[in-house]
Amino acid sequence: MSRNLIIIKIGGSVITDKTKDIPTPNIKIIKDIGQQLSQLYKLGSYQLLLIHGAGSYGHPLVKQFNLNEGIKTEKQFSAVSQVQSLMIQLNNLMLNYFDFPCTVFPPHSFIYQDNKELSSFNTELIEKALSQNIVPVLFGDMIYDISLGYSVVSGDTLTSYLAQKIYPKKVIFLSDVNGIYDRNPKIYSEAKLITEINSSNLKSVLTKLSTNKSNDTTGEMRGKLLSIQKYLPGIEVLIINGGYQLDIRAAVSDSYLFGTKILF
């Protein structure tokens, strides 16, 4: 893959209101992200691969029907189908604001897991799209699971797996906060942004992180950080705010004002 490949994971908390129990898109932010991605693509300097989360389109149903712990009832199977359908709706909504050639790869159509671990994920078509300068788009989803029937594959999991396979120049996570803080900034006003995390300060950072009790079934910043350490060594990762003064071009070129840079 080209060393100018950028993987951008757009958090569900950015493009939807995760405090709602019904699908609630944040159209203003979706439109802004779409415009900025379109401008970045038209520069011609970067290849892009996009992954987005579920937010209020997926998490409430997953939690309500306990869909990540095994599918056993008719109501659960029905809820799985609802989540898949809603994720396609959210994806289609975002595509309306993407002014560049892209192709969607719904995870439930070609990926499966075994006991919540990725078991089969053929990236050949994704790599083919990239070679033709077409932007692949994936999203968090409910996918077939050999042991459980179905289980959640999160956008973070997809991001980590693809980064291992195609080794991008950079991975950018668009979050609903400016980056990783020494404590939860949604609870503590005195929380301080940690601008850089590496092997030398990881341990101290982990001891400071608190867990935000929210409607989220895929983990918080601590889990994200540990996943980055495990799966993305040697790849520069940047976590920035996808809504507050977002400047994707600045993030790509390392001239961003707010964010957390991670490199192990």
When pLDDT is cut at 50, 70 and 90, the band that residue 217 belongs to is: very low
CA dist., res. 94 & res. 90, Å (int): 6
Q: Which H or E run includes 52? A: strand 47-52
For 78, residues 6+ apart whose C-beta sits below 8 A from its C-beta are none
pLDDT band at residue 212 under the 50/70/90 scheme: very low
Mean pLDDT of the chain: 91
Q: Phi and psi dihedrals of 171, rounded to 5?
A: -115, 125
CA geometry: angle at 166 spanning 165 and 167, to 5°? 100
More confident call, 174 vs 211: 174
Report the pLDDT value the prediction gives residue 218, as an integer from 0 to 100: 41
Residue 114 has pLDDT above 60, yes or no: yes
Taking the CA atoms of residue 85, residue 90, residue 92 and residue 94 in that order, the dihedral angle to the nearest 10 degrees is -170
pLDDT at 211 over 90: no
- Token reading at 199: 């092997």
pLDDT tens track for 20-36: 999 999 999 999 999 99
Q: How many other CB atoms sit within 10 Å of the CB of residue 175?
A: 24
| pTM of the predicted model as reported, rounded to 2 decimal places | 0.92
User: What residues pair up with 193 in beta bridges, in sequence order?
Assistant: 181
Distances (CA, A) of 260 to 14, 135, 178: 17, 25, 8
For residues 18 and 203, give the distance between their C-alpha atoms in angstroms, rounded to a whole number.
Answer: 30
User: Is 215's pLDDT higher than 50?
Assistant: no
Residue 208 and residue 183 in contact, taking contact as beta carbons nearer than 8 Å:
yes
User: In the chain, where are the structural domains located?
Assistant: 5-177+232-247
Identify the architecture of domain 5-177+232-247 in CATH.
3-Layer(aba) Sandwich (3.40)
pLDDT in tens, 43-62: 999 999 999 999 999 999 99
The DSSP line for 152-176 is EE-HHHHHHHHHHHH--SEEEEEES
